[in-house]
Amino acid sequence: MSLGLIYKNNEHILDEKEENGVPFLSYPMLEKTGVVYHGFSTRLGGVSKGPCATMNISTTRGDDPQAVAENCRRIAAAIGVRAEDLTYTHQTHTTNVAVVKEQDRGRRFMETDGLVTDVPGICLVTFYADCVPLYFVDPVKKVIGLSHSGWRGTVHKMGKVTVETMSREYGTDPKDIYAAIGPSICQDCYEVSEDVIDEFRQYFEQKLWPELFYRKENGKYQLNLWKANEAVLTEAGIPKKQIAVTNVCTHCNPEILFSHRATGNKRGNLSAFLALKEE
């Protein structure tokens, strides 16, 4: 199938899939581990109306709760998990990472931007509309992580915090992790002010700056969150060959993906999903 997405390059990073009329995106690299169900939603395949049309599972966008519940059922079935096993963040641009246990199945973690678990069946869920989804799969220890990383999360190295949590709680060796940087705003579309860049200068080595940002004639900067997060993940010890970096920009695809920069607050949210398969 083809959703008509605009890609930034011709590399085969993502697959476009559809189950029962519900399209979603997936990473071949994560699929090849054989231990997870995962996906990234689009705007399509749901029942929501208005600005949230049609596939939104976020309860924070003013959407009809019955529509959200039906969307949860549809996207969960498409990805291969149960709607009652969806376990959510309530994101506030922190680097707070919660450890999800069996008794947490189906709950929402407040003021939390990352989740890790070793419990099969629990599906971790995070929300987006330009910020960066980070997926982590350790097929050796059978541990997963899923984190939301906007510019604040990126500058404070949310990806590294997630890896450190997996290592501390479950003994994960970063060299065993397969990671994916999900659909989010690209450098061409992401203009920021100098105060944001000053933070990146503080937390990222100077040798990386040319890859991460450049200054324009208007005094603003174009920031590359994809490269920044790739640098964070390699700093955390994940081999570069085990990191899949998206080539899909949310802002470049506003008809297919929700984008805050494209539509402001009148929108739904995209969602990332990651679950360990039950044996």
Report residue 279's pLDDT band, with 50, 70 and 90 as the boundaries. confident
Find the mean pLDDT for residues 177-190.
98
Summary count for the chain: helices (H), strands (E): 8, 16
Instruction: Say what the pTM is.
Output: 0.98
201 within domain boundaries: no
238 within domain boundaries: no
230 within domain boundaries: no
**Mean of all residue pLDDT scores within the chain:** 97
Check whether 1 has a pLDDT greater than 70. Answer: no
223 within domain boundaries: no
119 within domain boundaries: yes
155 within domain boundaries: yes
179 within domain boundaries: yes
Count of domains for the chain: 1
CATH of the domain at 248: 3.60.140.10
For residue 223, which of 96, 91, 132 has the smallest C-alpha distance? 132
Tell me how far apart the terminal alpha carbons of the chain are, to the nearest angstrom.
Answer: 30
Check whether 37 has a pLDDT greater than 80. Answer: yes
Q: Which residues contact 242 (CB under 8 A, 6 or more apart)?
A: 29, 177, 178, 179
What are 116's strand-pairing partners?
A: 99, 145
147 within domain boundaries: yes
For residue 231, which of 179, 188, 183 has the smallest C-alpha distance? 179
44-101 pLDDT tens trace: 999 999 999 999 999 999 999 999 999 999 999 999 999 999 999 999 999 999 999 9
Between CA 115 and CA 127 the distance in angstroms is 12
Find the mean pLDDT for residues 182-199.
98
Please give the residue range of the domain that contains residue 174: 15-184+243-276
CB 181 within 8 A of CB 243: yes
